[in-house]
Amino acid sequence: MPTKVPCCCCYGHYNYCYGCHANQCCRGYIAYHRFAAFEAKVFTADKKNAGTAHSLYLVLVGDQRSSKVFAFKNSSRSPVLQRGQTDTFQLATPPLGALKAVNVAHCPRKRHRNAESASPEGRGSSWFLFQIVLTKLEDKTKTCFLCRQWVESSPSPKELQYTQITIT
């Protein structure tokens, strides 16, 4: 029996996975043969001001298709993208083929009362992404995407400006 991973679509709230229509969910988990399941490790550099308070958006790009946008919200309870921190996320998507690139964006989750922290020029607007390592959970193959650069903030989730990182 294949190992199961969290469903990207329904998170166990429905009896079926509406992202793929025909695949059946089992309490929020899906089987490998219906989806490509990945573990994404996102490494923020250990540099001054490298972290950000903004939320992360990822799109996986394969030679057959691209994934949907995966959004990871930054909050005070579970902060992500902090200086020197490695964040791990589970992703499930229809098969993409061979991975070619990852599109990365980050932006404020919502408008803040403090205009400085919400503006692209404000505190936490840039983020130094060191690398992303994607592990395909089915066969444990790893793909490394080295970035080693500052990623500028997008103005809003509706206007995401992606930085594309290709395989190294």
pLDDT higher than threshold 70 for residue 3: no
Summarised one tens digit per residue, pLDDT across range 9-26 is: 444 433 344 444 444 444
- Does the predicted model carry a pTM greater than 0.85? no
Integer angstrom CA distances of residue 52 from 31, 48, 65, 132: 34, 11, 30, 16
Cα 116 from chain centre? 26
Residue 87: the pLDDT is: 95
pLDDT in tens, 107-118: 986 654 443 344
Mean of pLDDT values over 141-165: 93
Q: Which two tokens stand for residue 44?
A: 């923020």
CA gap 30, 92 in Å, rounded: 8
**Which two three-digit tokens encode residue 158?**
């509706």
Q: Report all structural domains of the chain as residue ranges with CATH numbers, in order of start.
A: 1-33 (no CATH), 35-166 (2.60.60.20)
What does the pLDDT look like over 36-90, one tens digit per residue? 899 999 999 999 999 999 999 999 999 999 999 999 988 888 888 999 999 999 9
Instruction: Name the strands in the sheet holding 55-62, side by side, starting at the edge strand that comes first in the sequence.
Output: 70-72, 55-62, 99-107, 163-166
Residue 154 has pLDDT above 50, yes or no: yes
State percent of the chain over pLDDT 90.
Answer: 56
pLDDT, position 124: 53
Q: What is the DSSP letter of 154?
A: P
Q: Which two tokens stand for residue 155?
A: 């103005």
Q: What is the pLDDT of residue 157?
A: 86
**Tokens at residue 165, please?**
């990182």
Tokens standing for residue 6: 């969290």
Q: Is 165 exposed, middle or buried (0-12, 13-18, 19+ CB in 10 A)?
A: buried
Tokens of 152: 């500028």
Residue 148 CA: distances (Å) to CA of 44, 45, 129: 9, 8, 6
Please name the amino acid found at residue 34: R
